[in-house]
Structure formats: structure tokens, C-alpha cells
Amino acid sequence: MLRYRDIIEEYENPLNISERETVEYLRRVFEHHFDNTPYWKKMKGKIELNQIFEGSLNEVFERIFNARLAVDEDYLRNNWLDFLPENYSGRIRFYQSSGTTRERAIGHWAYEYLKLLVKYLRVSFDEVYGLDKKYNENHRMRAIAHGPYGWYQEEISELVWSYGGLLYFIGVETDGIKRELEEKKLEEVLKGRLAPLARYTKRIFERDRINTIRTGPQMLALVPEPENIETVILSGLGITVNSLKEIQKTFKNSTIIPLYGYYAFGDIIGMLKNNEVVYYPNYPFTIIFPLVQEEGQYKIARYGERGRMGLIIARPELLIVKIEDESMSRVPPVGPFGWDGFGNPKRGKRVI
């Protein structure tokens, strides 16, 4: 059985993952789940892994989807236990998705993955945004975060603590919040379901010298003195090129960091590049390419071309192959990342 202790030694630098290492890792994960996980054990004997795992990562990725290994959305939502390996002994916790845009789903993480995810985020934050030069024992990160309980809370907690910082976490019920924000004015929502969040945020800013905030774009309206904020970490609804540029005008002294979050893999780091918001997944655990269809076969989109999200989540405790109802463009590697990313994701835009 594949264990995290077999992986951790190989994962010294999360930004130095080669294509060969990624393909080899994917094969190990598939073999492990085909042997141990109820859903994937049904595929054993029907799918020839030797034929799939030949050639480049792009070729392997396309073969996986053309072998019709993508999991049905409804099946995954209703049968999440089928994706937990039998006799898995790691520290597992089941999380719910945020429910901001659709019905909540349930998925599981191993605690060891949380630590590796935070390592990827920390190294990426330092390499791309230089946060390690901004925060130290002489200048402490003092952060406030708004968001759902669960992986989101644990991830941001571990990340802030890695900088020696302190964190105020204000939990919020996010189920259906997208529709409410679309149908009502922000002021109404802040006086309704988000009234406790607004009240406690105001109280914290009155008492402490907050210099870092992790929230959604709409909640930045609660910051009383934007000029005192040094780092703004954003995720959730409304992240676009224009919105980031507008936020930068208000938060003139801030480093603005966009993230792309998903309940089954956590956050992916993003940046504003060539008039796109681009994101680079945490290889080898999360592999994402936009897919298009040509003559009935899935193909990875060309650079700059938009396609539908093809997603592989590959970990000892979880294997998901999925096509999301989300369109995005394919973007080439950019330092410090040695692999492709995706740009300007938009939910609900079916392209294939």
C-alpha cells in the first residue's frame, strides 16, 4: 500500500518536480487505488495501465480521459466512501465543499497531505511574492481570515503559523452565498447572514494591527484602513483581471495574491500575468489541463485555447479523475513553475 512516508522524502522541493517524476508518481497512485479502493478495483482487468502510462505527461493525461476513467459527478457526491482505500491507516478527515455555487460534496484528506499542501503554498508565496522577506521575528504577520470551517481553516492556519504569525479566523456559513450576493446588495448581506462576520471583523481591526487578510473580494469592504494592509490573499467569487486591478488601486501598499480553491485539493496559487489570472497546481498531487474534443477524443487544449477543466487528484488516500463544468485557457510554464498552468477559469461555460 502506498504511504506518505514513501513520498515525503521525494518531495523536498515542491517547485522542482520533473515530468518523469510526475508520470511515475501517477502510475504508483493508480496501481495503489486499483488494488485497494472499492471504486477503482472495479476497473482492474478492464483497463491496461501499461498502455496508459507510456510517453509524456500530456499523452498519459489524454489516455486517462480517453479510457473513460472520469468519475460521474452525481456518483462521486453520493458514494464518497467508495473512494477511500480499504485498510487505509493514515489520519483521515472528511470535509464538505463550501456550497457557494452548488450543492455540497464530501471528500476526504489525509493530514499528511495538508502538510505537503502548505509546503507548496509557502514555497510558492516566497518565490513568487517574497513573503519570507516581508515577515519575520521583527515584523510579525498578523492575519484575519474569513471563510468556511474545515480544510480552509486548517490550511490558512498552518500557513500563517509557518511565518510565525498569528491568525484571527472568523468562520462563515457559505452555503448558497453566491446566489445571495447576486440577488441582494452587499450591504443587505452584511446586515443579514454575514452580520456576525462584519461585527467581529470591525472589533478586531479596532483592537489589533492587522497587516494580512485572507477573504473574498466582496469582504474587503470591511477593511477600515486599506493602506495598512501589506498582503491580501483572495479566493472565492469574483476574481478577474479587472477586479484585481481595482483592488490594487485601493490596497496600494499590498501584495495581492489570488488563489483557486477546491474542496478535494485545497488552494492553488495564482498570479496576474499577461492580462490573465493564471494558476499553477501543486504537482504531482493535482494535475489540471483544459480539454477539448477532436473527432470524439479528448485532447489537451493548445496554449491560449480554452477548454473544459480536466482534473486528476492523485494521493495515497484519494484518486479522482474528473471533468469539471468550468472553462479555462491553457498557459505555459512561468518561473518558478516548471509545468503548465491554467488561466481565467469560469464556471458553467461548457465548451465540449
Give the pLDDT confidence of 42-88 residue by residue, as tens digits: 999 899 999 999 999 999 999 999 999 999 989 999 999 999 999 89
Q: Are residues 329 and 242 in the same domain?
A: no
Q: H-helix or E-strand containing 36? A: helix 19-36
Tell me which of 61-70, 93-102, 119-128, 209-218 is least confident.
93-102
Among 18, 131, 66, 96, which residue's Cα sits nearest to residue 321? 66
Q: Are residues 144 and 213 in the same domain?
A: yes
Tell me which of 127-136, 265-274, 342-351 is least confident.
342-351
Flag whether pLDDT at 320 surpasses 50: yes
Q: Are residues 336 and 252 in the same domain?
A: no
Q: Are residues 147 and 219 in the same domain?
A: yes
Q: What is the pLDDT of residues 83-111, one digit of tens each?
A: 999 989 889 999 887 665 666 789 999 99
All three cell numbers of 336, joined, read 518558478
Q: What is the pLDDT of residues 260-312, one digit of tens each?
A: 999 999 999 999 998 999 999 999 999 999 999 999 999 999 999 999 999 99
Q: Which domain holds residue 293?
A: 5-89+284-347
The reply to whether 85 falls in a domain is yes
Among 302, 263, 280, which residue's Cα sits nearest to residue 109? 263
Q: Are residues 241 and 291 in the same domain?
A: no
Q: Are residues 120 and 261 in the same domain?
A: yes
Assess contact for 61 and 52: CB atoms under 8 A: no
Angle at 192 between CA 191 and CA 193, to 5 degrees: 125
Flag whether pLDDT at 179 surpasses 80: no
Specify the pLDDT at position 6: 83
- Domain end, chosen from 267, 295, 320, is at 267
Distances (CA, A) of 18 to 132, 220, 257, 291, 340: 25, 38, 25, 22, 12
How far is residue 126's CA from residue 335's CA, in Å, rounded to a whole number? 12
The reply to whether 100 falls in a domain is no
Q: Tell me the β-bridge partners of 271.
A: 278
Q: Are residues 298 and 206 in the same domain?
A: no
Confidence of residue 349 (pLDDT cuts 50, 70, 90): very low
The pTM (predicted TM-score) of the whole model is 0.94
The reply to whether 191 falls in a domain is yes
Q: Are residues 154 and 244 in the same domain?
A: yes
Q: H-helix or E-strand containing 277? A: strand 276-280
Specify the pLDDT at position 350: 40
Q: How many domains does the chain have?
A: 2
Q: Are residues 117 and 84 in the same domain?
A: no
Q: Are residues 185 and 253 in the same domain?
A: yes
Specify the pLDDT at position 352: 39
Average pLDDT over every residue of 154-176: 92
